[in-house]
């Protein structure tokens, strides 16, 4: 891997805070320690919104979080709440604790809690550690895992890999269940706790010019911990930094529009208000679709003015959209001269941050394919009856652009060099800072155009499906077992020539059992693919929830997307934990079969189909049906295969 680029102590860096409380009496008293304070994440001094600490050992509780390094002093205190009763609390005695960002001195006096006369007082030892980390440092924990350092960061999820799918033991019910101890697995534990971020030996850390090889095996993958930095950036970042314009740069047929559409889909799925502004559409609306190559000559003054005019119109529309609440605008045009880019930067000054995204391709075969595809699909040639004449005109247009083309050397930029071919490439970044730009870089380095299918399917019908119960970890019904065999037969035929394909499942046995008959492919278990956590409603039927917890039933009915089961998850939580899965799916060049659950597959399907988040909870993902997503240069296409007839309609969440 080439050198990674990160600054230390800059405005975009994050302060990782690890707090531990040690006291053996708390567990005996049935009390759970919490943290609350001046930071909004900690409730802004609202005790009802205090952050609960998690028990790491018999007498030790821990909490870790990420806040902006440039934030002013943070004040906080500990409080105790009885288990199962969040309304009562006991706040520690003494003055507020202060955490001065940027200072190495951390206050660690003991915490004193006073009770009634009978219980007296309880004193707890306090340990606080802080470390300045950039978003790149946070995500670099993946590389540390590869070196067996096992950092632990709040918000990421466990992954286990098992290539020996044929060795199985029988469970109590006679069905084959893969026992944990027999799995020859790589198990990545990324739970709550204090991370130890170790940078690779001889790796230079600077922020100016960074280069990533897209084929590097140790490129940091997406990490859930980085999401914590997103909250901090949105709360405390400068206003103009909260609005981001990704301005595409590049010659025609370099994959700009494809990249713009892919990035738009990803950011929308993460919940960022994102819109794609294609300047070509503005040009066609104002000047028609019958412009010949002469219109694009660099010495055609009228043509240059006309093209700059529509670019300015598109930019004005994008800035107006941002003022109305939009967050990320994707500005799609060639923007191939320094004067055009200077015009855009001047228009955006004080309103949004601009990052140039330049796509460069030197592969003649890829370019020829892209040019012919462009002529075939572009509205500019919709009325051209002679395809080869259209190709000649497009190549002439391209030659005019090449004469005046000026590569990006100014401002913040990302260069994607020969990354569309699927056989290597390089990503260069300059002056990139902040959570969201960092996420965009991680996404782009994993993107490619290699065609491959991704097959999504729910597990076979489970015993809880038959009973109409949500959640749980039941095994398969007879119908579900039949589907597992039909699925194996389908996969064997569909992927007969794809020996490098892989099977991904959740860690729940109904998903693992569905994959069991499939042979010849490595199987990977992702805890992130587990069904949505129904919390206290796990194992109940919807009728039971309606009867026993009518307020929860009503709340869920009003807003399924944002509703969070008590002590469980919402659909938005599921999206958050699935981000590493999406990044890895984008990185794969071989077919992947994902065997998971209804809520999870709804979220994955919404990403590939670019469905609005509001529609996500109601997307139909029927049992015993395979959804094949074909990814490649032509975009995303879908096929469905129904292997069995209709079953219990109450299945799923």
Q: How many CA atoms lie within 13 A of 264 on its CB side?
A: 22
DSSP state of 460: P
Active-site hit among 332, 393, 464, 569: 332
The single-letter DSSP state of residue 422 is: S
Distance CA 513, CA 484 (A): 8
Q: What is the DSSP letter of 532?
A: P
Checking 37-46 for CB contacts under 8 A at 24+ apart, the result is: 37/74, 37/75, 37/76, 37/77, 37/96, 37/97, 38/74, 38/75, 38/76, 39/67, 39/71, 39/74, 39/76, 40/235, 41/65, 41/67, 41/231, 41/232, 42/76
Look up residue 572 and give its two tokens: 């938005």
| Residue count of the chain | 653
Task: Give catalytic status of residue 531 as yes or no.
Answer: yes
Angle of helix 435-445 versus helix 571-587 axis, rounded to 10 = 40
* Nearest to 575, CA basis, from 618, 605, 619: 605
CA dihedral 487, 489, 490, 491 (to 10 degrees): 80
Which of 348, 586, 591 lies closest to 491, judged by CA? 591
**What residues contact 145, with CB distance under 8 A and at least 6 apart?**
151, 188, 190
Find tokens 């693992």 and name the residue: 512
Question: What's the CA gap between 39 and 228, in Å, rounded?
Answer: 13
CA gap 112, 122 in Å, rounded:
6
Nearest to 390 by CA among 382, 398, 381: 381
SS3 label, residue 274: strand
**CA 152 to chain CA centroid, nearest Å:** 18
From the list 459, 552, 569, 624, the catalytic residue is 459
Residue 596: closest CA among 466, 460, 483 = 460
Angle between helix 279-287 and 301-323 (nearest 10): 120
Burial code (b: 16+ CB inside 10 Å, e: under 16) for 98-128 equals: ebebeeeebeeeebebeeeeeeeebebebee
H helix runs in 45-150, sequence order = 135-139, 141-146
Terminal C-alpha separation, the chain: 42
Helix (H) or strand (E) holding 103: none
Q: Which of 65, 361, 447, 537 is catalytic?
A: 361
294 catalytic? Reply is no
Residue 65 annotated as catalytic: no
Taking the CA atoms of residue 99, residue 101, residue 102 and residue 104 in that order, the dihedral angle to the nearest 10 degrees is 20
CA distance 435 to 225: 11
Is residue 137 annotated as a catalytic residue, yes or no?
Answer: no
Active-site hit among 233, 358, 464, 531: 531
Nearest alpha-carbon partner for 183 in 207, 199, 167, 204: 167
Active site residues: 332, 361, 459, 531
């Amino acid at each position: 891997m080439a050198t990674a680029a990160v600054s230390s102590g800059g405005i975009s860096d994050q302060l990782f805070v690890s707090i531990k409380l040690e006291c053996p009496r708390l567990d005996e008293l049935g009390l759970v320690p919490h943290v609350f304070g001046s930071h909004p994440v900690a409730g802004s001094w609202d005790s009802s919104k205090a952050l609960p600490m998690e028990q790491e050992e018999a007498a030790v509780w821990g909490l870790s979080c990420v806040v902006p390094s440039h934030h002013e002093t943070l004040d906080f205190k500990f409080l105790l709440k009885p288990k199962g009763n969040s309304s009562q609390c006991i706040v520690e005695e003494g003055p507020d604790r202060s955490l001065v960002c940027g200072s190495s001195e951390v206050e660690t006096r003991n915490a004193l809690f006073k009770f009634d006369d009978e219980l007296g007082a309880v004193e707890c030892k306090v340990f606080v550690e802080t470390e300045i980390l950039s978003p790149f440092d946070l995500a670099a924990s993946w590389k540390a895992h590869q070196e067996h350092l096992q950092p632990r960061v709040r918000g990421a999820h466990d992954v286990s890999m098992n290539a020996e799918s044929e060795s199985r033991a029988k469970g109590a019910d006679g069905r084959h269940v893969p026992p944990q101890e027999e799995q020859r697995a790589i198990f990545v534990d990324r739970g709550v706790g204090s991370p130890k971020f170790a940078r690779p030996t001889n790796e230079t850390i600077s922020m100016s010019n960074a280069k990533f090889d897209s084929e590097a095996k140790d490129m940091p993958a997406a990490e859930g911990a980085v999401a914590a930095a997103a909250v901090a950036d949105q709360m405390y970042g400068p206003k103009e930094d909260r609005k981001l314009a990704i301005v595409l740069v590049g010659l025609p047929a370099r994959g700009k529009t494809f990249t713009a559409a892919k990035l738009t889909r990803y950011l929308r799925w993460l919940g960022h208000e994102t819109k794609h502004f294609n300047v070509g559409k503005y040009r066609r609306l104002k000047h028609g679709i019958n412009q010949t190559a002469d219109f694009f000559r660099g010495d055609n003054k009228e043509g240059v003015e006309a093209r700059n005019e529509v670019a300015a119109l598109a930019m004005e529309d994008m800035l107006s959209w941002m003022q109305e609440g939009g967050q990320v605008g994707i500005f799609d045009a060639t923007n191939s001269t320094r004067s055009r880019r200077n015009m855009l930067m001047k228009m955006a000054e004080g309103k949004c941050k601009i990052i140039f995204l330049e796509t460069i391709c030197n592969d003649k075969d890829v370019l020829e394919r892209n040019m012919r595809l462009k002529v075939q699909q572009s509205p500019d040639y919709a009325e051209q009856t002679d395809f080869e004449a259209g190709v000649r005109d497009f190549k002439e247009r391209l030659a005019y652009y090449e004469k005046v083309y000026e590569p990006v050397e100014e401002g913040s930029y990302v260069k994607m060099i020969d990354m569309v071919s699927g056989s290597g490439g390089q990503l260069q970044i300059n002056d990139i800072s902040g959570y969201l730009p960092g996420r965009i870089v991680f996404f782009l380095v994993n993107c490619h155009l290699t065609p491959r299918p991704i097959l999504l399917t729910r597990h076979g019908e489970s015993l809880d499906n038959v009973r109409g119960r949500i959640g749980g970890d039941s095994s398969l019904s007879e119908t579900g077992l039949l589907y597992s065999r039909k699925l194996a037969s389908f996969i064997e035929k569909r992927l007969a020539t794809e020996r490098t394909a892989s099977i991904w499942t959740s860690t729940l046995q109904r998903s693992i059992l569905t994959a069991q008959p499939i042979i010849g492919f490595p199987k990977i278990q992702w805890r992130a693919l587990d069904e949505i956590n129904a919390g206290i409603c796990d194992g109940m039927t919807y009728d039971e929830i309606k009867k026993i917890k009518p307020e929860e039933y009503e709340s869920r009915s009003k807003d399924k997307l944002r509703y969070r089961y008590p002590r469980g998850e919402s659909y938005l939580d599921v999206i958050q934990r699935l981000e590493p899965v999406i990044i890895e799916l984008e990185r794969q060049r071989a077919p992947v079969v994902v065997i998971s659950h209804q809520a999870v597959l709804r979220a994955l399907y919404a990403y590939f189909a670019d469905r609005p988040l509001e529609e996500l909870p109601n997307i139909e993902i029927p049992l015993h049906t395979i959804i094949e997503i074909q990814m490649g240069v032509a975009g995303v296409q879908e096929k469905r295969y129904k292997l069995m007839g209709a079953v219990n309609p109450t299945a799923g969440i």
